[in-house]
């Protein structure tokens, strides 16, 4: 899994999204949120990918890291908590 930078052609907003080498693997059971991301539906999509059924999967975990030294990152974390 690695970050992919994106840019909206209509709004010029930029950001990062997690990506896999091929496709989302059904066996994935953990998501580490270490990139700056706020709530705009992306987390719901990632959560849906993690909850795909697989014989080797028992539990799904989403671990959210926040750097409290930066106000912008704290605000993004707050948006994720409300989402």
User: 18-54: per-residue pLDDT in tens?
Assistant: 766 655 567 778 888 777 776 667 778 888 878 888 7
pLDDT of residue 20: 62
By the 8 A CB rule, do 32 and 65 touch?
Answer: yes
What pTM was computed for the model?
0.54
The rounded distance, in Å, linking the Cα atoms of 63 and 31 is 6
Q: Which residues contact 67 (CB under 8 A, 6 or more apart)?
A: 73
State which residues form the domain around 16: 2-82
pLDDT of residue 44: 81
Instruction: Count the domains in the chain.
Output: 1
Quote the mean pLDDT of the chain. 79
């Amino acid at each position: 899994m690695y970050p992919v930078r994106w840019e909206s052609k209509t709004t010029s907003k930029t950001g990062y999204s997690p990506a896999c080498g091929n496709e989302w693997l059904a066996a994935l059971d953990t998501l580490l949120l270490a990139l700056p991301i706020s709530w705009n539906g992306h987390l719901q999509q990632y959560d849906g990918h993690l909850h795909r059924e697989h014989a080797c999967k028992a539990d799904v975990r989403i671990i959210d890291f926040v750097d409290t030294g930066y106000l912008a990152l704290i605000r993004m974390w707050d948006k994720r908590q409300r989402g």
